[in-house]
């Protein structure tokens, strides 16, 4: 089915898929994951040179004039290649925060690949991302941060952390060098084979000028970041689901049992047809989420994004489960990338609000 | 990304919406909203109104009385009319046989049959399935044997929707018993008043009789009623099935059903149930997926890039969701649903909505078991996807 892009967008899609086709295969991914960062810093520099990191930002903000659609294209391609480089954690999240908070010098560094950023926002015990338990207290001329953040994507390698905290009882976003005293970055492996970090702040000192956003602005910046994260996660999940769908279809055409290709069995044909339908619908919902980012922030947009998150993840998980089952025993092996795709989709389905979270949000915003 | 929503299309949508508000008779709308089965006069009255406006055959070419609507306009028209509570537009003349005649028919056939469809004067039905040829349609056995200027037709058709209300039937008949199944089939137009035709209604599970079995015993059909070439009927049938499925997603109808569930839940004090809210939100997710996919398919059709199998995706999902929603409405009624009497419902169809709605909901839910079967069952649609979309 069609999906119209501008010539520039088509070029980006073409270039991303060519680059990933050339440079990325199962063996490369394994090699990259074994590196200290959990991904390849060389690849990160290459995609910076290719212009990926600035493709989702307008020219006023130091980007290359693109927007959500460019991000969607890249996230889908990255998902399809089961890429281990943290586009979500080190591009989408901090890029959105820096752009919305007006930190264009930092954004330029992110886009050029000169510095790595990560957003430390998640505190699983807190009911809302807008109400962190982490606090910033006056300390001398500056501030001291106390608190703990979980699952900081890209935090294992970030030069700069963008931290949500309460300042004078209100949400603020703080810029913290990861190597200052009082910042304890603990790297851990993740379900999808990559890495992330838990970060403790124990009187970590910053200047007042490191407050990137506060007052009414900070909640808007965080909400926008989460909205962009949801759309990006949908696109990446769709890409991973397409990978599993295509590999499963290939396998049905190859594998012979009972003297014929198993794709000739109607029971399997119908399951494959349902995977195809799920993929088409996931594609539609991912595009809907991206289109919603152009709308003003508000209840309608939140509802659409929640619906997309529930719908894409549910369909991608279905494809993931079926991909393992239809591959049979080999689908369970670590050697095949089926499990990698499944685990990536599962991870994305739990991030930025799981199904329960988004059902609650849809219910509360019901029209 | 592009959108089908041009300013012109939005204006057209507003026109259709306003037209329905002004012209849809209140009693018909009430029946539709209540889920009460419609009578022939109900259908014909609404279709007369549309014919008067020139919208009954809107997607037809202007040369044959249509408005030359694009796929997008046709979609908007269906969604808006359905959403407003208008009756289902009977597809047999407008969507099925009409396009076959103006695409493959002779000049005489066009002149004889198209005006009756555009003016809503001739009621058509479709003679495809047979007792032993359902999904395996190519196995049909109704025979038409050439005898001078006539075909002599013998056999039977079944699941013939609304044949008991119809004037004419278009049939797939076997004209060459020796050819491989698909090759020996022809497309024949038959006047139901011809001697030898018997129509026997079949009562279906909701208690209404919209289905029929039609028997043909030595029925003499003028040979000029053969559409296109003899033994090429399968081509025309496939063309028709394509038309049939393009607009089968019915998002507007599903949304209307959801609105009713909310109303029923409020009436029964269930509207704050978290389980109910979860179900409604999940239905909304499924409907958005269906709607966005429909819009993508329309975009592909408009761009001339549709591959053909997209209609199967919409048919499978649209019918399944409609079924789930209409079934859930019965659950929301609870034991109120057990008080069900289709005869009472028919006799009291004019009563206020609250009086008849619960039975209407049950009637509709039972009837809605059919969409996953008709128009090529969903299993056949999955076969189509496996073959044409996936190459299995």
**Is the CB of residue B84 less than 8 Å from the CB of residue B46?**
no
> Which of B39, B62, B89 corresponds to the end of one domain?
B89
Which of A2, A246, A248, A249 to probe by mutation at the B interface, max B CB count within 10 Å?
A: A2
How much is the pLDDT for A9?
Answer: 93
Q: Rounded CA gap, A337 and A268, in Å? A: 21
CATH code of residue B176 = 2.40.110.10
Tell whether B225 and B327 lie within a shared domain. no
| Residue corresponding to tokens 């049909």 | B140
**What are the pLDDT digits (tens) for B77-125?**
999 999 999 998 999 999 999 999 999 999 999 999 999 999 999 999 9
**What are the pLDDT digits (tens) for A221-253?**
999 999 999 999 999 999 999 999 999 999 999
Count Cβ atoms within 10 A of the Cβ of residue A3 and give its class: 0-12 exposed, 13-18 middle, 19 or more buried.
middle
B116 occurs within a structural domain: no
Which of B2, B280, B288 faces A285 most closely, judged by CB atoms?
B288
Tell whether B313 and B208 lie within a shared domain. no
From chain B residues 237-296, the ones with a CB under 8 A of any chain A CB are 274, 277-278, 280-282, 284-286, 288-290, 292-293, 295-296
B95 occurs within a structural domain: no
> B292 vs A276: CB contact, 8 Å cut-off?
no
How does residue B269 score in pLDDT terms, banded at 50, 70 and 90? confident
Residues of B in contact with A283 (CB under 8 A): 296
How much is the pLDDT for B268?
Answer: 85
Q: How many helices (H) and strands (E) does chain B have?
A: 14, 8
Q: What is the token pair recorded at A351?
A: 């991030």
How much is the pLDDT for B177?
Answer: 87
Mean pLDDT of B328-344: 95
Residue B352 has pLDDT above 50, yes or no: yes
Q: Output b/e per residue, B276-286; b: 16+ Cβ within 10 A.
A: bbbbbbbbbbb
From chain A residues 282-301, the ones with a CB under 8 A of any chain B CB are 282-285, 287-288, 290-291
Which of A2, A249, A269 faces B300 most closely, judged by CB atoms?
A2
Mind spelling out the 3-state secondary structure of chain A?
CCCCCCHHHHHHHHHHHHHHHHHCCHHHHHHHHHCCCCCCHHHHHHHHHCCHHHCCCCHHHCCCCCCHHHHHHHHHHHHHCCCCCCHHHHHHHHHHHHHHHCCHHHHHHHHHCCCCEEEECCCCCCCCCCCCCCEEEEECCEEEEEEEEEEEECCCCCCEEEEEEEECCEEEEEEEECCCCCEEEEEEECCCCCEEEEEEEEEEEECHHHEEECCCHHHHHHHHHHHHHHHHHHHHHHHHHHHHHHHHHHHHHHCEECCEEHHHCHHHHHHHHHHHHHHHHHHHHHHHHHHHCCCCCCHHHHHHHHHHHHHHHHHHHHHHHHHHHHHHHHHHCCCCCHHHHHHHHHHHHHCCCCHHHHHHHHHHCCC
Q: Rounded CA gap, A52 and A64, in Å? A: 9
Give the containing element (helix H, strand E) for B190.
strand B185-191
CATH code of residue B262 = 1.20.140.10
What is the nearest CA distance from B326 to chain A, expressed in angstroms?
20
Residues of A in contact with B307 (CB under 8 A): 1
> B282 vs A359: CB contact, 8 Å cut-off?
yes
- Non-local CB neighbours of A124 within 8 Å, separated by 6+ positions: A150, A151
**What are the pLDDT digits (tens) for A279-293?**
999 999 999 999 999
Mean pLDDT of A302-322: 98
How much is the pLDDT for A65?
Answer: 87
> A277 vs B316: CB contact, 8 Å cut-off?
yes
> Helix, strand, or coil here: B111?
helix
Tell whether B28 and B76 lie within a shared domain. yes
Tell whether B208 and B276 lie within a shared domain. no
> B390 vs A273: CB contact, 8 Å cut-off?
yes
Mean pLDDT of B370-390: 94
B239 occurs within a structural domain: no
Residues of A in contact with B310 (CB under 8 A): 1
Tell whether B83 and B183 lie within a shared domain. no
B243 occurs within a structural domain: no
Dihedral class, residue A136 (left if φ above 0, else alpha if ψ from -120 to 50, else beta): beta
The number of residues in chain B equals 392
Which of B286, B386, B389, B391 to probe by mutation at the A interface, max A CB count within 10 Å?
A: B386
Which of B297, B300, B386 faces A273 most closely, judged by CB atoms?
B386
What is the nearest CA distance from A24 to chain B, expressed in angstroms?
25
Residues of A in contact with B303 (CB under 8 A): 2, 4
How does residue B1 score in pLDDT terms, banded at 50, 70 and 90? low
Tell whether B62 and B185 lie within a shared domain. no
> Which of B163, B198, B233 corresponds to the end of one domain?
B233
Which of A263, A310, A366 faces B277 most closely, judged by CB atoms?
A366
From chain A residues 252-281, the ones with a CB under 8 A of any chain B CB are 252-253, 263-264, 266, 269-270, 272-274, 276-277, 280-281
Which of A1, A253, A274 faces B296 most closely, judged by CB atoms?
A1
From chain B residues 369-388, the ones with a CB under 8 A of any chain A CB are 379, 381-383, 385-386
How does residue A1 score in pLDDT terms, banded at 50, 70 and 90? very low
How much is the pLDDT for A266?
Answer: 98
Residue B69 has pLDDT above 50, yes or no: yes
How much is the pLDDT for B2?
Answer: 59
Query: Strand pairing partners for A183?
Result: A201
- Non-local CB neighbours of B240 within 8 Å, separated by 6+ positions: B96, B97, B99, B100
Tell whether B264 and B331 lie within a shared domain. yes
> B305 vs A2: CB contact, 8 Å cut-off?
yes
Q: Rounded CA gap, A282 and A313, in Å? A: 8
Residue A200 has pLDDT above 50, yes or no: yes
**Is the CB of residue B81 less than 8 Å from the CB of residue B69?**
no
B348 occurs within a structural domain: yes
Mean pLDDT of B222-237: 95
What is the nearest CA distance from B220 to chain A, expressed in angstroms?
42
Q: Rounded CA gap, A349 and A92, in Å? A: 17
Which of B1, B293, B381 faces A291 most closely, judged by CB atoms?
B1
B351 occurs within a structural domain: yes
C-alpha pair distances (Å), A18 with each of A22, A77, A346, A367, B15: 6, 10, 27, 44, 47
**What are the pLDDT digits (tens) for B174-226?**
999 888 878 899 999 999 999 999 999 999 999 999 999 999 999 999 999 99
Which residue, A345, A323, A349, is CA-closest to A336? A323
Residue B38 has pLDDT above 80, yes or no: yes
> Helix, strand, or coil here: B94?
helix
Mean pLDDT of A93-109: 95
Mind spelling out the 3-state secondary structure of B144-172?
EEEECCEEEEEEEEECCCCHHHCCEEEEE
* Most confidently modeled range among A175-179, B31-35, B88-92, B301-305: A175-179
Mean pLDDT of B319-345: 96
Q: Rounded CA gap, B254 and B380, in Å? A: 23
Tell whether B151 and B259 lie within a shared domain. no
Q: Rounded CA gap, A230 and A232, in Å? A: 5
C-alpha pair distances (Å), B371 with each of B97, B315, B322: 20, 9, 8
How much is the pLDDT for A255?
Answer: 97
Tell whether B252 and B129 lie within a shared domain. no
What is the nearest CA distance from A311 to chain B, expressed in angstroms?
6
> A362 vs B385: CB contact, 8 Å cut-off?
no
Q: A117-120 and A160-167 as β-strands: parallel, antiparallel, unpaired?
A: parallel
- Non-local CB neighbours of B213 within 8 Å, separated by 6+ positions: B131, B156, B157, B158, B160, B199, B200, B202
Average predicted confidence (pLDDT) for chain B: 93
Residue B311 has pLDDT above 80, yes or no: yes
Mean pLDDT of B287-295: 94
| Residue corresponding to tokens 């501008």 | A6
Q: What is the token pair recorded at A119?
A: 């957003």
B378 occurs within a structural domain: yes
Domain count, chain B: 3
> Helix, strand, or coil here: B189?
strand
Query: Strand pairing partners for A198?
Result: A186
What is the nearest CA distance from B305 to chain A, expressed in angstroms?
7
Q: How is residue B226 annotated by DSSP?
A: E
How does residue A2 score in pLDDT terms, banded at 50, 70 and 90? very low
Tell whether B218 and B257 lie within a shared domain. no
> A359 vs B281: CB contact, 8 Å cut-off?
yes
Tell whether B229 and B256 lie within a shared domain. no
Residues of B in contact with A314 (CB under 8 A): 285
Quote the domain boundaries for residue B50. Answer: 7-89
Which residue, A130, A201, A220, A214, is CA-closest to A168? A214
CA dihedral A238, A242, A244, A245 (to 10 degrees): 130
Give me the active site residues of B, please.
Answer: 244
Which of B285, B293, B383 faces A280 most closely, judged by CB atoms?
B293
> A288 vs B379: CB contact, 8 Å cut-off?
no
**What are the pLDDT digits (tens) for A3-43?**
578 999 999 999 999 999 999 999 999 999 999 999 999 99
Q: Among A69-83, A171-185, B304-318, which stretch is predicted with the lowest mean pLDDT?
A: B304-318
Tell whether B154 and B197 lie within a shared domain. yes
**Is the CB of residue A82 less than 8 Å from the CB of residue A29?**
yes
Mean pLDDT of B315-344: 96
Residues of B in contact with A359 (CB under 8 A): 278, 281-282
Query: ∠ CA(B215), CA(B97), CA(B368), 5° rounding?
Result: 75
Which of B300, B305, B386 faces A269 most closely, judged by CB atoms?
B386
How much is the pLDDT for A319?
Answer: 98
Q: Which domains does chain A have, with CATH numbers?
A: 7-114 (1.10.540.10), 119-214 (2.40.110.10), 218-364 (1.20.140.10)
User: How many other CB atoms are found less than 10 A from the CB of residue A260?
Assistant: 10
Q: Rounded CA gap, A183 and A199, in Å? A: 7
Which residue, B319, B311, B304, B309, is CA-closest to B247? B311
Residue A60 has pLDDT above 90, yes or no: no
What is the nearest CA distance from A355 to chain B, expressed in angstroms?
10
> B289 vs A310: CB contact, 8 Å cut-off?
no
> A2 vs B299: CB contact, 8 Å cut-off?
yes
Q: What is the token pair recorded at A364?
A: 């509360």
What is the nearest CA distance from A78 to chain B, expressed in angstroms?
19
> Which of B233, B259, B285 corresponds to the end of one domain?
B233
Which residue, A224, A310, A251, A216, is CA-closest to B286? A310
Percent of chain A with pLDDT over 90: 93
Percent of chain B with pLDDT over 90: 80
What is the nearest CA distance from B307 to chain A, expressed in angstroms?
8
Residue A302 has pLDDT above 90, yes or no: yes
Q: Rounded CA gap, B386 and B312, in Å? A: 11
C-alpha pair distances (Å), A308 with each of A281, A285, A341, A357, B76: 10, 5, 20, 13, 23
How much is the pLDDT for B163?
Answer: 96
B115 occurs within a structural domain: no
User: How many other CB atoms are found less than 10 A from the CB of residue B386?
Assistant: 25
Residues of B in contact with A249 (CB under 8 A): 390-392
């Amino acid at each position: 089915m069609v999906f119209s892009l501008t010539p520039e967008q088509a070029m980006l899609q073409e270039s991303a898929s060519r680059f990933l086709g050339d440079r990325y295969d199962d063996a490369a991914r394994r090699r990259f994951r074994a590196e200290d960062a959990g991904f390849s810093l060389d690849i990160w520099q290459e995609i910076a040179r290719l212009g990926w990191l600035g493709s989702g930002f307008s020219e006023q903000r130091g980007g290359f004039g693109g927007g959500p659609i460019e991000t969607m294209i890249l996230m889908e391609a990255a998902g399809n290649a089961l890429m281990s480089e943290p586009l979500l954690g080190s591009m989408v999240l901090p890029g959105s925060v820096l752009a919305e908070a007006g930190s264009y010098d930092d954004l330029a560094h992110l886009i050029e690949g000169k510095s790595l950023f990560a957003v430390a926002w998640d505190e699983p015990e807190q009911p809302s991302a807008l109400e962190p338990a982490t606090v910033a207290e006056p300390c001398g001329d500056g501030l001291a941060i106390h608190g703990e953040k979980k699952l900081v994507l890209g935090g294992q390698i970030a030069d700069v952390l963008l931290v949500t905290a309460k300042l004078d009882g209100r949400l603020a976003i703080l810029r913290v060098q990861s190597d200052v005293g009082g910042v304890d970055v603990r790297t851990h492996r993740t379900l999808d084979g990559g890495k992330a970090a838990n970060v403790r702040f124990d009187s970590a000192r910053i200047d007042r000028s490191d407050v990137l956003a506060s007052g009414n602005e900070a909640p808007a910046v965080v909400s926008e970041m989460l909205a962009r994260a949801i759309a990006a996660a949908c696109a990446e999940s769709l890409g991973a689901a397409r990978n599993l769908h295509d590999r499963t279809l290939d396998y049905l055409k190859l594998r012979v049992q009972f003297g014929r290709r198993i794709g000739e069995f109607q029971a399997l044909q119908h399951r494959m047809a349902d995977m195809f339908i799920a993929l088409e619908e996931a594609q539609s919902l991912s595009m809907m989420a991206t289109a919603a980012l152009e709308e003003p922030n508000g209840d309608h947009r939140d509802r659409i994004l929640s619906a997309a998150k529930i719908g894409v993840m549910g369909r991608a998980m279905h494809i993931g489960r079926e991909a393992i089952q239809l591959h049979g025993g080999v689908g369970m092996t670590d050697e095949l990338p089926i499990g990698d795709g499944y685990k990536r989709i599962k991870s994305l389905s739990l991030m930025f609000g799981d199904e329960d979270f988004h059902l609650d949000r849809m219910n509360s915003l019901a029209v | 990304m592009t959108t089908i929503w041009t300013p012109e299309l939005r204006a057209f949508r507003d026109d259709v919406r306003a037209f329905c508000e002004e012209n849809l008779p209140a009693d018909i709308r009430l029946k539709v909203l209540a889920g009460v089965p419609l009578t022939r006069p109900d259908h014909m009255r609404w279709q007369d109104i549309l014919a008067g406006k020139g919208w009954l055959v809107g997607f037809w070419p202007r040369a044959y009385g249509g408005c030359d609507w694009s796929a997008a306009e046709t979609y908007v028209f269906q969604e808006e009319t359905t959403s407003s509570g208008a009756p289902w537009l009977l597809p047999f003349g407008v969507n099925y046989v009409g396009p076959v005649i103006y695409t493959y028919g002779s000049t005489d056939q066009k002149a004889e049959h198209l005006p009756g469809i555009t003016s809503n004067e001739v009621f058509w039905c479709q003679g495809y399935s047979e007792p032993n040829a359902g999904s395996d349609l190519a196995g049909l056995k109704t025979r038409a044997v050439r005898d001078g200027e006539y075909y002599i037709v013998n056999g039977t058709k079944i699941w013939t929707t609304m044949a008991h209300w119809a004037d004419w039937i278009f049939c797939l008949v076997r004209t060459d018993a020796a050819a491989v199944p698909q090759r020996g089939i022809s497309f024949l137009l038959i006047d139901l008043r011809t001697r030898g035709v018997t129509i026997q209604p079949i009562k279906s599970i909701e208690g209404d009789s919209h289905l029929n079995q039609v028997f043909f015993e030595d029925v003499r059909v003028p040979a000029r009623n053969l559409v296109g070439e003899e033994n090429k009927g399968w081509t025309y049938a496939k063309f028709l099935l394509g038309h049939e499925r393009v607009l089968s997603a019915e998002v507007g109808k599903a949304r209307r059903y959801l609105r009713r569930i909310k109303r029923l839940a409020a009436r029964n004090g269930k509207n704050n149930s978290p389980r109910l809210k979860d179900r409604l939100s999940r239905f909304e997710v499924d409907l958005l997926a269906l709607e966005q996919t429909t819009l993508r398919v329309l975009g592909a059709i408009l761009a001339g890039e549709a591959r053909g199998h997209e209609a199967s995706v919409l048919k499978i999902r649209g019918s399944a969701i409609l079924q789930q929603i209409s079934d859930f409405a019965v659950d929301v009624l609870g034991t109120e649903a057990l008080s069900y009497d289709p005869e009472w419902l028919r006799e009291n169809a004019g009563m206020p909505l609250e009086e008849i709605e619960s039975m209407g909901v049950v009637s509709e839910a039972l009837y809605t078991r059919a969409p996953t079967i008709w128009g090529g069952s969903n299993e056949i649609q999955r076969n189509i996807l496996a073959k044409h979309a996936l190459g299995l």
